[in-house]
Amino acid sequence: MSTDNDRTIRAGLSYYTGRALPDHLADAVRAQGLQPGSWVFPKPADGLPIGEQQALDKLRALGRSLRDRARAAGATLIVPDDPGWPAGTGCNLPALWIQGNPDLASLLDQSVTLTGARACSEYGLRVAEEFTLGLTEARRTIVTSTAPGIARRALSTALSVPAGRTVLVGDQGLDQPFRPPVADAVARAASRGTVISPFPPGSSPTPSRRIFADQLLFRLAAGTVVVEASLGSQIMLAARHAAHAGFYVCAVPGPVTSALAAGCHQLVVEGSAEMVTNIDDVINAVGFDRPAFIKPFTVTVELRSGGAALGRRRHGPFMVWAASVAHAANTAFDLVVDAPSVPVDLTVWVHDASGGREAIAINRRS
C-alpha cells in the first residue's frame, strides 16, 4: 500500500500532469514507478538548480496544499494500490481526484466510453442517445466528458435513466466551477457514479487540459465508441493514439458525404478502430464475455514472404485479443499469413494497454 508520504508526493506530481516536467523532478517521478517523457509527462523543462532533497521537500509542500484544497472541496485523492484505483488501464498517472463513488475500479469493470465531435450533427446526437440508452439498459457504466456535442448528449442520456451509472472525466480541478450548461449534470453524475479529474484543485480548464482529458477518456473503459469525428480532429488523433497504445476503439460509420463521418471512416480503414453499427456490435467488440485474462493488443506486422524479391509488406496496426504478447503475435500471424506452407519471415510489433511494446520475430521455412 502507498504510504501517506507517497500519496502527498503523487498529489504534488499531479500538478504537472499533461505539462512539461521540470528536470529536478525527474527522479521523483521515476521513484514512484512513473516515466518522464510518457504521455502523462510529455516533455521536459528546465528545472531549478536544487538538490534532490530540496526538490522533494518542495513537492511535498505542494502536495499537502493540494490535498487540503481537495478536502475543502469534498474531493478525494486516489493513487495506485488504493482499492478503487483502475488497475490495468495503463493510465500511468500519478493520481486521480474524485468526487462521488471512490471505487472507480468497480464502476469501470463493465464500462464503455462514448465520445465524438463537439460540433456534431443531428444524426450524431441521435446515435449517441441510442447507444447510451442501449448500453445503460445493458447495465454498462457510461464514461464520457463534459464536452459539448456527442459527449454531453451521452451524459444527459445516461443521467435520464434511473439506473444509469456514469464516470465523468473533467478537464479542470474539481474545486473549480463547471460551466453553467453542465454544472447540474456534474453534480448529478457525482451522486450517480463518479466525477474524476487527473488535474489537482486550482486547475482551470485550458485547451491543453481538454486534449489530455480526451486522451484519458480512451484509456479508462473496456472500449471507446467514437460517434462522429472529422479528419484531423482532436478526437480522431486521441483515438489513433489510444489504439496504437493497445486500447480498444470502435467507430460508428456515417454518410459518405459527411465531413463529420470522415474521421470515423479513416480510423476503420487504417485499423485503428472496429466499425460498429448497433449495441450488440459494441458489446461483442469490447469483449465483455471474454475471460478476464484475455486482453486487447495492437499489432503491426512487417512481412517478407518468399525472400527479398517480393519486397516488404506492412500490415496494421490492428487489434487482436490475446492472453499474452506471444499469443497476440501468433494470432496476428494467423490473420496475415493465409498460405500455410509458404516460407515466411516476419516481425510482429505488439503494443499492450500499459504502453509497452515488444517485437516478436517469426521465421517459418516450410
Q: What is the CATH number of the domain that holds 226?
A: 3.40.50.450
* 21 contacts 46 by C-beta, under 8 angstroms: no
- Cell numbers given for 145: 466528458
20 DSSP 8-state letter: P
Residue given cell 470522415 in the structure block: 262
Same domain, 221 and 332: no
Q: Are residues 267 and 302 in the same domain?
A: no
Q: Is residue 103 part of a domain?
A: no
- Answer yes or no: do 217 and 302 share one domain: no
**Residues with Cβ within 8 Å of residue 23, at least 6 apart in sequence:** 44, 45, 46, 47
Query: Is 323 in the same domain as 271?
Result: no
Could you say which residues of the chain have pLDDT below 70? 1, 87-91, 287-293, 296, 304-319, 338-342, 353-356, 365-366
pLDDT at position 89: 56
Instruction: Indicate if 312 and 242 belong to the same structural domain.
Output: no
- Asked if 154 and 300 sit in the same domain, the reply is no
In a domain, 92, yes or no: no
In a domain, 222, yes or no: yes
- Which residues are within 8 A (CB) of 191 and not within 5 positions of it... i.e. 6 or more apart? 100
Q: Is residue 183 one of the residues assigned to a domain?
A: no
User: Would 11 be classed as within a structural domain?
Assistant: yes
- Confidence at residue 106, expressed as pLDDT on a 0 to 100 scale: 86
Q: Say if residue 253 is in the same domain as residue 166.
A: yes
Predicted pLDDT of residue 307: 46
pLDDT of the residue at 308: 44
Question: Would you state the cell numbers that stand for residue 51, as one nine-digit string?
Answer: 538538490
CB-based burial of residue 289 (10 Å sphere; 0-12 exposed, 13-18 middle, 19+ buried)?
Answer: exposed
pLDDT, residue 311, reads 45
Strand segments (E) across 284-338:
295-305, 313-322
314 and 266: one domain?
no
Q: What are the C-alpha distances in Å from 299 to residues 285, 316, 363?
A: 17, 7, 17
pTM for the whole structure: 0.79
Question: What is the model's pLDDT at position 310?
Answer: 39
**Dihedral, CA atoms, 19, 22, 28, 32, nearest 10 degrees?**
20
Q: Does residue 216 lie in a domain region?
A: yes
Whether residues 271 and 159 share a domain: the answer is yes
Domain identity same for 245 and 315: no
End-to-end CA distance of the chain: give it in Å, rounded.
52
**3-state DSSP percent of the chain in helix, strand and coil, to 5:** 40, 20, 40
Q: What per-residue confidence (pLDDT) applies to 158?
A: 95
Residue pair 135/224 in contact by the 8 Å Cβ criterion: no
- Tell me which residue range forms the domain holding 38: 4-73
> Can you tell me whether residue 52 is helix, strand or coil?
helix
d(CA 341, CA 349): 23
Domain check: are 40 and 167 in the same one?
no
Task: Please tell me the distance from the alpha carbon of residue 135 to that of residue 283, in angstroms, as a whole number.
Answer: 8
User: Does the residue 116 lie in any domain?
Assistant: yes
Same domain, 221 and 307: no
Give the CA-trace dihedral at 144, 147, 151, 157, to 10 degrees. 90
Note the pLDDT of residue 234.
93
pLDDT tens for each residue of 243-279: 877 788 999 999 999 999 999 999 999 888 999 999 9
In a domain, 336, yes or no: yes
Number of domains within the chain: 3
